[in-house]
Amino acid sequence: MKTKTPFKEAVEKAGWKPYIYIDEKDFPEKQEGTLAIFTLDKYVSASELDKEYASRGLVPAEPLSVLEFNSLEKYVATQWRDTNDNYCYATFLRWLDERRVDVDRLGRDWDGDWWFVGVRKLGLGTGSARSSSVPSSLAEQVALLEKKTVELPDFIMVGEVKYVRDK
């Protein structure tokens, strides 16, 4: 019987089915900062996605942060490199009525349906808040995220999680 890891336990507790093919020791370290989500609306390679993270002043979020962040049930992912410089990823999606988390080592290409989660380290600017435009419910926030043409507030607070708009 396989030993349950903290991440696998958290995935199962959240109601997701885990498909984890790498050891948690290969996960990136948790970074202090603000979680941010962005989408590209185009196909990109693993190396192009690295550049997209960097262009936004973000580092990839570690999978547990993404699990906690992903109450939106989008196609959400994070990508990082392990200590041997191999690409790794964690994806969170619904497939055939199953909420699943896939974590593996692979430099994959990403289509335009994915939303990526990164961390903006403390001390890096994110713009000013416009609290009057912050939606009050999670449903309103999801509706805003689904309308990519709608101007989103600079950030949205849900409990203690801060969702940051990236351009």
Strands 155-158, 161-165: parallel, antiparallel or unpaired by DSSP? antiparallel
Report which of residues 74 and 73 the model is more confident about.
74
pLDDT(58) > 60: yes
- Beta-strand pair 33-39/98-105: unpaired
Residue 40 pLDDT exceeds 60: yes
Q: How far is CA 37 from CA 75, 89, 123, 130, 152, in A?
A: 11, 15, 18, 18, 12
Tokens of 55: 């262009």
Torsions phi, psi for 68 (to 5 deg): -65, -30
Over range 22-28, report the average pLDDT.
Answer: 88
Binned at pLDDT 50, 70 and 90, residue 72 comes out as: low
Please name which of 33, 98, 40 lies closest in space to residue 69, comparing C-alpha atoms: 33
pLDDT over 90, % of the chain: 30
State the DSSP code for 130. Answer: -
Both tokens of 143, joined, read: 């509706």
What is the distance between the alpha carbons of residues 136 and 157, in angstroms, rounded to a whole number? 9
Report whether 34 contacts 162 (CB < 8 A). Answer: yes
Q: What is the share, in percent, of the chain residues with pLDDT greater than 70? A: 66
Look at residue 31 in the predicted model and tell me its pLDDT: 81
Global confidence as pTM: 0.71
Mean pLDDT of the 91-118 span: 89
